[in-house]
Amino acid sequence: MSQSPAPRRTLGRPARISREQVIATARRIVDADGVDRLTMRRLATEIGTTPMALYHHVRNKDELLVALLDDYAERALRRPELPGDPRGRVLAAAAAIHEALAACPWITEVLTADDLMSTSALWFVEQILDGLIACGLTPDRAVHGYRAIWYFTAGEIIVRTTATRRRTDDDRPTYRERVFADVDPDELPRLAQAAGRWAALTAEDTYLDGLQALLDGLLAAH
Amino acid sequence: MSQSPAPRRTLGRPARISREQVIATARRIVDADGVDRLTMRRLATEIGTTPMALYHHVRNKDELLVALLDDYAERALRRPELPGDPRGRVLAAAAAIHEALAACPWITEVLTADDLMSTSALWFVEQILDGLIACGLTPDRAVHGYRAIWYFTAGEIIVRTTATRRRTDDDRPTYRERVFADVDPDELPRLAQAAGRWAALTAEDTYLDGLQALLDGLLAAH
DNA sequence: GCGAGTTTCTATACATGTAAGAAAACTAGC
DNA sequence: GCTAGTTTTCTTACATGTATAGAAACTCGC
């Protein structure tokens, strides 16, 4: 009758907090107050433990952020209806990744990881690879093509989000504005010509155009 | 005879250090010991002042890094012989920027700026814009094209350098390796197929291929 | 029940960027 | 010379990530 209740097979002091709990609480903080307010100390007190205890469940803050991105991708990356033609599949998969990432701009510091290798993103990578191969690329070239698409996508997100971030927490004239003011129209006529419209032009979302151009170029190269 | 020696026209306490001195010393530290060893405290002691005194010459460490990048670009960005055909010019200008950036991998954290808008880089931007326009793009589309090239270039540098950085200061199995180990060949056949070669493939430098593809796509879109 | 081993948690400490304000070193007007 | 104003520098303090060392809480073999 009095069997040992669920015989504990784990050695050592039992854990009071779990990695899942850490990540979930971190997510709550980020959702509520933004990623800037996520500190290990606050996370610890909200969980009811000490900062260093967290380090038994995440290796460091960076890994925690990666885990957050993973967690986010798991929920936000819903697999869309993909078109039948392979080119369209590649576009749709890449656009879906881009859309999900653009929606949570706090991951910039994490995004510089090698690949977007969240488990839940793998399906999208698979679609891109498969689409590229169906378009006639060799498997090896398809991997390179995926990388190129990833460079472009990650670069767009990173550059765009940090640009807007700097613009918000800084009201002095932009570095850009100062630079443009110095442009000599005789020496740099195209820049001088574009100077007035630069801000407006770079504010436009041209990700899809660029993605299509890149993809067309990749496919045209056989 | 005893004229006031160079009548000081500046009000207030005379500066003991200059912004140029700060940047030059920072450069020396970075060149010698890497960007990780550049701290405001060390910089201050090497100059012979206190950390907070630096903040009257650079707004914060980020701005110091941007200034370092500027300083570096000034010296490293030598204008190459550009080919006559506009497509070649664009490629050469972008490749030159990429090459210079790839040579100093510590700028990753700075590279996320809006554009590479160092004064010394403007000439390259001009060449890219001019080349794109000469290929038939409208000025507005040329700016978008330049942005696309910049996204791709910055993304490539950032992703590549942080990837190698993480690999060096971390000998545990990569996140990537763990992810690939879980790939189900039935569900994700392309990924499973590429898994073994992934590391080798992504180690290859395919920047120029990607750049050409992107450029061709941009030009093909009229 | 007891010691050994193992895991998790806690306390303390340090390096770092930088905010806030006082102090210093000058010029200009009297 | 003295005061006011201005600019630069210094002092002190704080928040943050995290290293290190050891205490605490468990299982297992005896």
Note which residues in 166-195 of chain A have CB less than 8 A from chain B: 166, 174-176, 179, 182-183, 187-191, 193-194
User: Which residues in chain A are closer than 8 Å to B112, comparing Cβ atoms?
Assistant: 108, 158-159, 162
Task: Read off the pLDDT band of B3 (50, 70, 90).
Answer: very low
Least confident of A63-72, B13-22, B35-44, B206-215: A63-72
| Mean pLDDT calculated for residue range B192-208 | 92
| Mean pLDDT calculated for residue range B120-143 | 94
Q: Is the pLDDT of residue B60 over 90?
A: yes
User: Which residues in chain B are closer than 8 Å to A133, comparing Cβ atoms?
Assistant: 190
pLDDT confidence of residue B166? 64
Q: Nucleotides of chain C within 7 Å of a protein C-beta?
A: 5-12, 15-21, 23-28
| Mean pLDDT calculated for residue range B25-31 | 96
**Chain B: nearest CA to A10, how far in angstroms?**
23
For residues A100 and A77, the answer to whether their CB atoms sit within 8 Å is: yes
pLDDT confidence of residue A169? 56
pLDDT tens, residue order, chain A (222 aa): 444 445 556 888 999 999 999 999 999 999 999 999 999 999 999 999 999 999 999 999 999 998 998 888 888 888 888 988 999 999 999 999 999 888 887 777 676 665 556 778 899 999 999 999 999 999 999 999 999 999 999 999 988 887 776 665 555 556 667 678 778 899 999 999 998 898 899 889 999 999 999 999 999 987
pLDDT confidence of residue A103? 84
Task: Read off the pLDDT band of B199 (50, 70, 90).
Answer: confident
| CA A39 / C1′ C14 distance in Å | 18
Task: Read off the pLDDT band of B80 (50, 70, 90).
Answer: confident
Q: Is the pLDDT of residue B208 over 70?
A: yes
- What percent of chain B stands above pLDDT 90? 60
Nearest CA-CA partner of B123 in B102, B143, B93, B150: B93
* Most distant CA pair in chain A, distance: 94
Residue of A nearest to B131 (CA): A190
pLDDT confidence of residue B87? 96
| Mean pLDDT calculated for residue range B157-176 | 69
B152: amino acid identity, one letter: F
**Alpha-carbon distances of A86 from A82, A95, A122, A128, B72, rounded to whole Å:** 9, 14, 17, 8, 44
Q: How far apart are CA B156 and CA B204, in angstroms?
A: 12
The count of C-alpha atoms lying within 13 angstroms of the C-alpha of B159, restricted to the half-sphere facing its C-beta, is 28
| Mean pLDDT calculated for residue range B45-58 | 97
Task: Read off the pLDDT band of B212 (50, 70, 90).
Answer: very high
**Alpha-carbon distances of B219 from A210, A216, B85, rounded to whole Å:** 11, 10, 13
> What is the pTM for the complete model shown?
0.89
| Mean pLDDT calculated for residue range B171-197 | 81
Cβ within 8 Å of residue B137, ≥6 positions away: B145, B218, B219, B222
Q: How far apart are CA B214 and CA B202, in angstroms?
A: 18
pLDDT confidence of residue B114? 56
